């Protein structure tokens, strides 16, 4: 017959006592700190609500700014509806500007904000408001990323803007940027713009050299024959 093992009474009652004691301490801690836990819970809930609200607000802002942008572009390009609703081209451009200003002033940090600056630059140039055009193009360059492929249009616009003001030195800076950039649709005409500015500055040799670069870089293009013609005129 197996020997019966006696378990001391102290051992039998110790574990339940410890469990009861621990439970009591936990409940007591929760009771004493319930306000603290409630505050944490409410804070987390508010953060979640705020995040969801901001996301909804952001999406709503983006939608509204996109609508304004699309309307502005339609006025700028002048489709049939916008032409009928505007008195003339100047009025149509100003209606487009109003919508673009609305985006810049009331919808910052939306995807359409940089484009609002770019189109504002185009429109101010069309209206012969060259200082405003330059400011708008500079605004686009500040807002757009360095990888944005549309930067070339701001460089081009700045070149034309400064040229229109008679500031040929600054115009040269931006036309050179078009030539120095990766091959782009504006690089070929940029050579002619550079040469034109050199001519205005009385630097005929540099103008001829720039036209010669067109012959070297684009020998089989239509630009080459035009560059030859310009060189012959300058050498007379």
pLDDT tens-digit readout, 36-58: 545 555 555 554 554 444 454 46
Same domain, residue pair 175 and 235: yes
Report CA torsion sign: 124, 129, 132, 137: positive
Same domain, residue pair 142 and 179: no
Distance CA 192, CA 210 (A): 8
Q: Given this model, what pLDDT does residue 99 score? A: 96
Q: Given this model, what pLDDT does residue 27 score? A: 52
Same domain, residue pair 134 and 96: yes
Whether residue 229 is contained in a domain is answered as: yes
Tokens read off for 35 = 């306000």
Are 87 and 95 within 8 A, CB to CB?
Answer: no
Distance CA 236, CA 152 (A): 34
Whether residue 127 is contained in a domain is answered as: yes
Whether residue 205 is contained in a domain is answered as: yes
Same domain, residue pair 141 and 176: no
Whether residue 26 is contained in a domain is answered as: no
Whether residue 20 is contained in a domain is answered as: no
Whether residue 48 is contained in a domain is answered as: no
Distance CA 223, CA 72 (A): 34
Q: Is the pLDDT of residue 141 over 60?
A: yes
Domain final residue, candidates 102, 117, 148: 148
Residue with tokens 């319930």: 34
- pLDDT mean over 9-29: 53
Same domain, residue pair 190 and 141: no
| 124, burial (CB in 10 Å: exposed 0-12, middle 13-18, buried 19+) | buried
Q: Given this model, what pLDDT does residue 31 score? A: 56
Same domain, residue pair 137 and 180: no
- The number of folded domains in the chain is 2
- pLDDT mean over 121-140: 97
Q: Given this model, what pLDDT does residue 142 score? A: 96
Tokens read off for 29 = 């801690």
Same domain, residue pair 203 and 144: no
Whether residue 75 is contained in a domain is answered as: no
Q: Is the pLDDT of residue 94 over 50?
A: yes
Expressed as residue numbers, the domain containing 177 is 169-236
CATH number of the domain at 200, please: 1.25.40.10
Same domain, residue pair 142 and 201: no
Whether residue 40 is contained in a domain is answered as: no
Same domain, residue pair 124 and 181: no
Same domain, residue pair 187 and 143: no
Distance CA 122, CA 118 (A): 7
């Amino acid at each position: 017959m197996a020997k019966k093992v006696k378990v001391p009474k102290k051992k039998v009652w110790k574990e339940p006592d410890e469990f009861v004691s621990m439970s009591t301490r936990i409940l007591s801690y929760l009771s004493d700190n319930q306000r603290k836990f409630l505050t944490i819970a409410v804070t987390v809930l508010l953060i979640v609500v705020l995040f969801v609200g901001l996301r909804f607000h952001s999406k709503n802002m983006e939608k509204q700014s996109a609508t304004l942008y699309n309307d502005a572009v339609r006025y700028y390009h002048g489709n049939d509806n916008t032409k009928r609703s505007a008195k003339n081209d100047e009025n149509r451009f100003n209606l487009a500007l109003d919508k673009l200003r609305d985006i810049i002033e009331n919808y910052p940090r939306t995807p359409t904000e940089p484009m609002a600056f770019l189109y504002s630059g185009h429109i101010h140039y069309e209206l012969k408001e060259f200082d405003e055009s330059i400011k708008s193009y500079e605004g686009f360059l500040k807002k757009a990323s360095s990888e944005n492929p549309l930067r070339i249009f701001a460089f081009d616009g700045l070149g034309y803007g400064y040229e229109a003001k008679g500031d040929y030195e600054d115009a040269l800076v931006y036309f050179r940027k078009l030539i120095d950039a990766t091959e782009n649709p504006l690089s070929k005409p940029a050579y002619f713009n550079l040469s034109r500015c050199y001519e205005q500055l009385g630097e005929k040799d540099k103008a001829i050299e720039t036209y010669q670069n067109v012959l070297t870089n684009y020998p089989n293009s239509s630009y080459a024959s035009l560059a030859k013609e310009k060189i012959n005129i300058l050498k007379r």
